[in-house]
Chains A and B, each alone.
Chain A
């Protein structure tokens, strides 16, 4: 996925290269190309660490600070997850990234009929604070940053994270959580939505507002171009849509009387890497520059640090193939190289067995080692923005910038991202692209090694991450025991308060923290929102 289209002549010479974003690559670049695109060092690049941050957000790049590796982890029961966290930390991982199972992501308790067969399957099952207590036991929550891959009920999980930290004696001012908390991209690409568009965006506003006031080290939103790209959009659209989603959240908080300057520095991005190396490097450089420029122009943000495009750049599930899975080890290494050449501050890699299963310990460790080899053996720490100044890369970065702006304009013409998601415009655009790609692949116009070319050979056996039915039984048993043991009067009181606050349009976060501390379940809290907000209906795109 994500490879360019190559047009060749009868002698197999490449005549034309067309990147997915629609830009044609020339065979040779010279200073004339820079002239043609109007390249100016001060305006387009600036030194690393200086506006517009095209080259890097820090002056010394990886020399001053190597990237944070945050592999996606979370399996079955909270206890298993805790063991895996400790294992990855002992191997040198510097941040956590929690995977939740689908019932948790969808706001169902483990004993709900919709949860059947899914408890603990694609991540950790969380029903109550008790599960977080087990999962984070012995982890220094004042030292380690934690990504929480949850969206529709990110507000609940952020409250739960504060509750568990306080349970273990940490202050809310010293914890660092990054809930994914990007519901618009769920509606475009990943599908784990619950509530309608507007109340969903309101909940995100609540988490941002609450973080500004109460959780100084938390990053309340991670805007995900990543999943939209996984669903089929081009790299230019990935950035364009991510920025427009971020603007939608900015508007929601601005409406409450805050200046973007106060909170936008907390936004992080989750962006994808797979496919053409050059297109990706140019994409990240253009994105850093555009983000800084747009925040300055549209939202009058002045603080330098608030203009940084920060985030996790990693990849790239869609690049990985089911056929000849060992090839994915090689692909992963090149995606990691791309991340390093793009100046990623935080990174993660899909494992070679990703097309089959959630990563096995062996595969997850191999991804971690890939990053360590790049930084400590190959020389990616030596100098900042090593491709800066290349005639080709600088031309492409300028062209990519234009493409991103073009794609943004299309959506802004129809009223911005909230409207585009409600009408299904973006969903349709993304699905169309996915279809076009698939057709080209099936016709052989796009090459994927081991899939539609060089297919001979024997596939290695992939060990599957086992799914144990016992996890669900154990989890449900603990849930039922908890419901008997807890102070149920206090739970009802907290849920009533939560409902009232939700109806009255108050910020729900303090009420969620109280409910979590009383051991209200995830399903109980999510149901309060279901009652008040109702559920999202997908617009038809066919």
Chain B
């Protein structure tokens, strides 16, 4: 695992909410930044997202959550990642995330929280700086 291969990112949309503009726009930005992006599509369960992360051997898992249910969904994600031994993957949460919840998400083990309106450069730089580092340990 070295810098010469592309960083692999899974973007997931958990739950029933269908607002995927943010998820798709970020997917385009990461692709333009030279990453490989896999998008799960809508209406996913956390289980199916973790499954895809495992099968696609991604370095980064990013969830887009607009429904207000980011706390329980993230808790479930982190539990499943631990169970599947995927704790070396970079976990990012985006969407409608109130400021007061950012710390709670980080306390659960989320690496980066990027609410709507975050500039692409910030997300790209964060992933570049941390994805391989976390995976190599």
Q: Which residues of A contact B (CB under 8 A)?
A: 102-103, 105-106, 108, 114-115, 117-118, 121-122, 186, 190-193, 230-232, 322-323, 356, 431-432, 434-435, 438-439, 442, 451, 467, 537-538, 540-542
Contacts and interface: CB of A to CB of B under 8 A. Distances in A.
Contacts of A439: 29, 120
Given A102-B16, A322-B116, A431 B41 contact: no
Contacts of A232: 21, 25
A540 B31 CA distance: 14
B69 A117 contact: yes
B42 A121 contact: no
B68 interface: yes
Contacts of A434: 21, 24-25
Contacts of B21: 230-232, 431, 434
B131 to A, nearest CB: 18
Interface string B60-78: 0000000111001000000
Nearest to B13: A191
Contacts of B31: 542
B9 to A, nearest CB: 11
B25 A431 contact: yes
A103 B25 contact: no
Given A103-B16, A322-B117, 11 more contacts: A105-B16, A114-B43, A117-B72, A121-B68, A190-B19, A191-B17, A322-B116, A432-B28, A434-B21, A439-B29, A538-B42
Interface in B41-90: 41-43, 45, 67-69, 72
Contacts of A322: 116-117
A435 B39 contact: no
B20 interface: yes
The 9 closest A-B pairs by CB, nearest first: A191-B18, A102-B16, A435-B28, A431-B24, A538-B41, A117-B69, A435-B25, A191-B42, A192-B18
Nearest to B36: A542
B112 interface: no
Nearest to B15: A118
Interface string B90-127: 00000010000000000000000000110111000000
B19 A191 contact: yes
21 contacts: A106-B16, A108-B16, A114-B16, A114-B43, A118-B67, A122-B67, A186-B18, A190-B18, A191-B17, A191-B43, A192-B18, A231-B21, A232-B21, A431-B25, A435-B24, A435-B28, A438-B25, A451-B117, A467-B68, A541-B39, A542-B27
Contacts of A105: 16
Contact of A118 (B16, B29, B38, B39): B16
Contacts of A192: 16, 18
Contacts of B29: 435, 438-439
A105 B17 CA distance: 10
Contacts of B7: none
A186 B17 CA distance: 12
Contacts of B24: 431, 434-435, 541
A127 to B, nearest CB: 15
Nearest to A427: B24
A230 B22 CA distance: 11
Interface string B1-21: 000000000000001111111
A114 B69 CA distance: 12
A121 B29 CA distance: 31
A122 B21 CA distance: 18
A118 B67 CA distance: 8
Contact of A106 (B37, B38, B43, B121): B43
A540 B121 CA distance: 25
Contacts of B38: 542
Nearest to A106: B16
Contacts of A103: 16
B20 to A, nearest CB: 6
Contacts of B37: 542
B69 A118 contact: yes
Nearest to A540: B39
Contacts of A114: 15-16, 43, 45
A115 B15 CA distance: 9
Contacts of A108: 16
Nearest to A103: B16
A329 B25 CA distance: 27
A542 B24 CA distance: 9
Nearest to B19: A191
A148 B18 CA distance: 18
Contacts of A191: 17-20, 42-43
Contacts of A186: 18
Nearest to A114: B16
A451 B117 CA distance: 9
A41 to B, nearest CB: 41
A322 to B, nearest CB: 7
B115 to A, nearest CB: 9
B68 A431 contact: no
Contacts of B69: 117-118
Nearest to B116: A322
Contacts of A190: 18-19
B75 to A, nearest CB: 12
Nearest to B121: A442
Contacts of B41: 537-538
